[in-house]
Amino acid sequence: MKKVLTIILALVGVLSIVFLAMIISTGDEAVKVGEASGTVDSFMYLSYLILLLTLFFVVIFTLKGVFSNAAVLKSTLKSVGAFVILALICYFMAEGVETPLKDGGSLSEGGSKLVGAGLYLFYLLILLAGGIMLLSGIKKMIK
C-alpha cells in the first residue's frame, strides 16, 4: 500500500509541475486579458477536485483512527470540547461594533464580534501553548 501511495504522490507531483509550467508559459497578459481563461479555469477545477479528494481522505482516515479506539475517542472529545468552551468564552468577551471598510462597505456588528473573538482565541491559545512549553521545560530541569 505504501508503494502504491508513493507512486500516486509522485505522479501528482509531476503532473503539478507540468500544469504549473503550462500556466506560466501562457503569460501574465494572456491570463489578465482572458485569452487563457479556459486553460486556467480547467486547471483550477482540477486543483479543486484534488483538494476535495485530499480532504475526503483526511477526514475518512482521521475518523477511522478516532473511532477505532475508545481512549482516543474520549481524548479527542475532551480536546474538542475544551476548544469549543474557549471559543465561546472568547466570543462573549469580544465586542462588536459596526465598522466602515475602505471599499465603501461596512462590517456588521456580528462580523466584528467574530473577528474579535478569533483574535482573542488566537492570543489565548498562544499563551496556553507558551505556558505548557514553559512548564514542561521547568519539569525537565527539575528532574
* pLDDT tens column, 8-46: 889 988 988 887 887 777 777 766 666 666 666 777 788
* pLDDT tens column, 89-126: 999 999 988 888 888 888 899 999 999 999 999 999 99
**Which of 38, 2, 115, 53 minimizes the C-alpha distance to 107?**
115
Same domain, 36 and 97: no
Same domain, 76 and 123: yes
Same domain, 64 and 74: no
Same domain, 59 and 78: no
How many folded domains does the chain comprise? 2
**Which of 49, 68, 87 is at the close of a domain?**
68
At residue 106, φ and ψ (nearest 5 deg) are -145, 150
CA distance 47 to 41: 10
**Which of 47, 68, 89 is at the close of a domain?**
68
Q: What is the pLDDT of residue 15?
A: 85
**Which of 119, 123, 116 minimizes the C-alpha distance to 96?**
116
**Which of 68, 97, 114 is at the close of a domain?**
68
Q: Counting Cβ atoms within 10 Å, is residue 117 exposed (0-12), middle (13-18) or buried (19+)?
A: buried
Same domain, 92 and 132: yes
Same domain, 89 and 141: yes
Same domain, 63 and 83: no
**Which of 126, 104, 53 minimizes the C-alpha distance to 118?**
126
Domain that holds residue 121: 70-143
Confidence of residue 5 (pLDDT cuts 50, 70, 90): confident
Same domain, 74 and 141: yes
- The C-alpha angle with vertex 35 and arms to 34 and 40, in degrees rounded to 5, equals 75
Same domain, 126 and 136: yes
Same domain, 92 and 108: yes
Same domain, 50 and 16: yes
At residue 99, φ and ψ (nearest 5 deg) are -125, 130
